[in-house]
Structure 1
Amino acid sequence: MSVTLKLATSLDGRIATASGESRWITGEKAREQVHRLRADHHAVVVGVETALADDPELTARLPGYAGPQPARVVLDSRQRLSPGCKLVKTAREVPTYVMATGAPDPSLTAAGVRVLTVPALGEDRPELKTVVQALAAEGFSNLFVEGGGQVAGSFLRCGLVDAIEWFRAPILLGGEGRPAVGALAVAALAEAPHFRRVEVTELGDDLWERYARMA
């Protein structure tokens, strides 16, 4: 299983203002490339906070694209997704998974959502290594992790990220903005996750930086 982390940030690594405003930090060309990357992966992963705040579709929407859609995966230990949200309402059209730490909620399964129960870690969060194993057992061989910051930090902290697709906009949001990566518990530079930049592309005013994990 390979795991790719997508980040769309300001120059100083922020994904939203202090109030949570985030649409749109990056420009149209960057957002279009994200849709292409979604189409190249078996599943898109987000945290429940992102799902609740943005009510996303998490589909690959490109002009003329008629290929398969990635499955949508929500890390939702307490199954807080509403039956009225876009992900649940379209679960019979596009495979949708909830990674929970308790018994499946009948309102989600009745809508076509597949609820997978995994062990909890820390503050009742799904244990990510088990999450990846469970998704691999479902037949997925690559994941596209889209956030938010706590989810990004958790995947990095567990050493699960193989590549980063970083879209960086030429704006600054400052220290009060919401960080793209949550706590990593790094006490020394030697403990920090290390990545090698493999490509940089201009997309309008934005930069698309691609990184691979260093062995």
Structure 2
Amino acid sequence: MEQESGPAARPRVVVSVSTSVDGRVTLRSDRLLMEADAARIWRSMQPEGAQAAEDARSALLAGLHQPQAVLEGSGSLVTGSTGPLTGLPEDFDEPVDTLFTDFLPEEVVERPGHEKWFTVVDSRGRVRWSMKRNGGFDLLVLVARATSAAYLAHLRRERIPYLVAGGERVDLAAALRRMRDKLAVTCVVSTAGGGLNGALLRAGLIDEIQLLVIPAAIGGHGTPALFDGPQLADGELPTRLRLLFAHVGGDGMLWLRYEVIREAGATP
């Protein structure tokens, strides 16, 4: 994921994820937790108090930050082997230049009952959407200038809002700033997998981490973890954290809350 420079204000970013004790966020690299069998196995790992802990974490986030958006990567919705959508019409209702501008239809942005955005990073246009809203959540897609015009035209025909940020890939910093400028989003909660969370980490865009650690170990070489992506570059330091809260449940569930320590002079 690319990033743009600049000190412009962006939303607070909180990573809020459940992991195994070895930091895994799914069972295997080719298994999506949205699949019924994988979801069943994942639930079987969790002790009885897991749902109560998740509810308490959500309530704390709501009380502290009033988040207006949840962030996911396309890799949480389609497997790594899934390519861009094919078979989309190539005849567009609007000029191509217009397709590469933000699309925020008023009937969605101003929809009565709208509460939050379910925001998905999909620079390659891989997800075919069957659901555009769920309760108070409305779908918002983050795309790049390299996203195909056919996919953007498809989103417009489906009246799915999107923001354009970045060249070859979504520029996460720019996208976050645009979410604040265009949609008044002041806090984003990332429930994503390791790829997107790892990109947020390397870009220095994470402010807080909330973890629920399940008393189970998964292992496996290449099994997606909390923060995947590029290794530390020569001279690059790990991200330092300050513990804000820790709770150990009687059932072995561990709830941890950390704040990212900003180095002096660093631009958040």
Give the structure-2-normalised TM-score. Answer: 0.65
Post-superposition offset of 1:190: 6.4
Unaligned runs of 5+ in 2: 1-10, 32-37, 80-112, 263-268
Pick from 252, 256, 261 the counterpart of residue 205 of structure 1. 252
Whole-angstrom distance in 1 between the partners of 2:236 and 2:125? 37
Task: Name the structure 2 match of 1:148.
Answer: 193
1:206–1:93 Cα change, 3 Å: closer
Counterpart of 1:75, as a letter, is V
Q: Is the 8 A contact 1:73 1:96 kept in 2?
A: yes
Pick from 179, 185, 209 the counterpart of residue 135 of structure 1. 179
1:167–1:186 Cα change, 3 Å: same
Post-superposition offset of 1:7: 2.2
Question: SS at the partner of 1:106?
Answer: helix
Task: Name the structure 2 match of 1:163.
Answer: 208
Query: 1:48 aligned to 2:95?
Result: no
Q: CA offsets, 1:5-25, max 9 Å, x none?
A: 112101111111225235335
Query: 1:31 aligned to 2:54?
Result: yes
Unaligned runs of 5+ in 1: 54-66
Post-superposition offset of 1:4: 0.6
CA RMSD of aligned residues (A): 2.6
Q: Over alpha carbons, which structure has the higher Rg? A: 2
After the TM superposition, which residues 49-128 of structure 1 pair with which residues of structure 2 at under 5 Å, given as runs? 49-52=75-78, 69-84=115-130, 86=131, 88=132, 90=133, 94-101=137-144, 102=147, 103=149, 105-120=152-167, 124-128=168-172
Question: SS at the partner of 2:215?
Answer: coil
Whole-angstrom distance in 2 between the partners of 1:158 and 1:201? 29
Question: SS at the partner of 2:118?
Answer: strand
Q: Out of 21-30 and 166-175, give the one that drifted further.
A: 21-30
Whole-angstrom distance in 2 between the partners of 1:146 and 1:168? 14
Counterpart of 2:121, as a letter, is L
Q: Where is the strand percentage greater, Structure 1 or Structure 2?
A: 1
Q: Is the 8 A contact 2:210 2:256 kept in 1?
A: yes
Query: 1:179 aligned to 2:196?
Result: no
Q: When the two structures are aligned, how many residues end up with a matched partner?
A: 196
Post-superposition offset of 1:81: 2.1
Overall identity of the aligned pairs, in %: 21
1:191–1:161 Cα change, 3 Å: same
Whole-angstrom distance in 1 between the partners of 2:165 and 2:236? 31
1:172–1:93 Cα change, 3 Å: closer
Question: SS at the partner of 1:125?
Answer: coil
Q: Is the 8 A contact 1:45 1:144 kept in 2?
A: yes
Q: Is the 8 A contact 2:115 2:136 kept in 1?
A: no
Give the structure-1-normalised TM-score. Answer: 0.79
Post-superposition offset of 1:79: 2.3
Question: SS at the partner of 1:46?
Answer: strand
Query: 1:195 aligned to 2:241?
Result: yes
Whole-angstrom distance in 1 between the partners of 2:261 and 2:23? 21
Counterpart of 1:94, as a letter, is F
1:212–1:93 Cα change, 3 Å: closer
Q: Out of 154-163 and 203-212, give the one that drifted further.
A: 203-212
